[in-house]
Amino acid sequence: MRSIIPGTEEARLLDPTSLHGGTRSPGVPRSVFAMPGGSIIRYDRPAAAIADHITGYHLYAAHGPDCLDKVDWFLPGTANVRIAMNAGPVAVTIGRRSFDPVPTVALYGPTSHAMRAVTNGGVMIGFGVSALGWARLFGRPAIAHRDQIEPLARVVGPELPRLLLERLSDIADEDAVAPALDALLEPFLAVPDPDEPIIRDLMLLLVDPSIVKVKQLVERLGLEQSVLRRIGTCHFGMCPKLLLRRARFLRSFMAMFRNAEARGYSGIDPSYHDASHFLRDAERFLGMTPRRFMALSTPFLDASVRARAAVLGSPTQALHDIAVAHPASLPFPVDEPRSGSAPPVAATVARLPLSRNAESRPVDAGG
């Protein structure tokens, strides 16, 4: 069943053949958003007022016979809200859990497993929600929603899902998506949470490659371990140890991703004891070896890694750095894709500005 929104069938935005993808951000070459025929990707920054809470806006679209039963994979990340606009059915598997069909306006909880998606064309608009955003927007334990997909209305009530559908269905120009979402979301993010100072500091530490142990978090934050665990499970959706494992793995994996000529695991994080240690984490977060994952067809993931790095400063949501993703810090330099394909991720990210404590941090060649 197609999730057509009543009264909006004529809206140009709902027709993927009319979309071009790209970004409103200046200085990002069009080639960054190159996709196979019939597929479109778009990334935009949120307004400065909500940039710490919303990690970014994304739009995926596909049309034509090749878009039916299209399989793609996505890496573990933060929570997301996604809205299907005149789209065919979507089925998603996260670890051993399957969600078929995905609701039209869905909350994707924080994930600790790679996500396999089967789509059938149309338009999907979404926005990432950071731990700070989770605290303000949802105000409930994130761990109860980890690795889950559910109707957004079940979590926040009917008003926000209704407004999302109404506002997005009235848009006739894809460049207007980000401003419309900025205006809609800002009032819902107006009430601070008492834990915000700790959440913010923890978000920054999690993207610091020198932080690999919970003991380091406890020392840097000056918290009891029980308090740190509460913050992690309530606002990030998982305990601090798992958050650190996920961050370390993704930093290492992104150094390999899209670099088929790499040999061995020389680029993995030095805190891994050996390759088998890294491979155990790959099984935990990807469900397979890195080589097997990289052999999969992942056109939207490839484009997402490339576009997100160019527009938002990090190729993966799980390693989103609010210290460098603020609109004043952008745009970021990017490599041109070779013959329409993605540039090596390590080459792209190595030139991104570092966040605070940069003088003590190595260049982050991950996401």
Residue-wise pLDDT for 80-136, tens only, equals 999 999 899 999 999 999 999 999 999 999 999 999 999 999 999 999 999 999 999
Residue 260, pLDDT score: 62
3-class secondary structure per residue, 34-70: CCCCCEEEEEECCCHHHCCCEEEEEEEEECCHHHCCE
pLDDT at 319: 93
CA dihedral angle for residue 284, residue 289, residue 294, residue 298, rounded to 10 degrees: -40
Helix (H) or strand (E) holding 116: strand 115-119
- What is d(CA 18, CA 164) in angstroms, rounded to the nearest whole number? 21
Domains of the chain by start residue, with CATH = 12-188 (2.60.120.10), 196-360 (no CATH)
Is the confidence at residue 333, as pLDDT, over 60?
Answer: no
- Mean pLDDT (whole number) for 17-32: 94
Query: What is the pLDDT of the chain when averaged over all its residues?
Result: 87
CA 304, CA 292: separation in Å to the nearest integer? 19
The two beta strands, 91-94 and 97-99, are antiparallel
Residues 6 or more apart whose Cβ sits within 8 Å of residue 222: none
**pTM assigned to the model:** 0.87
Residue 339 has pLDDT above 50, yes or no: no
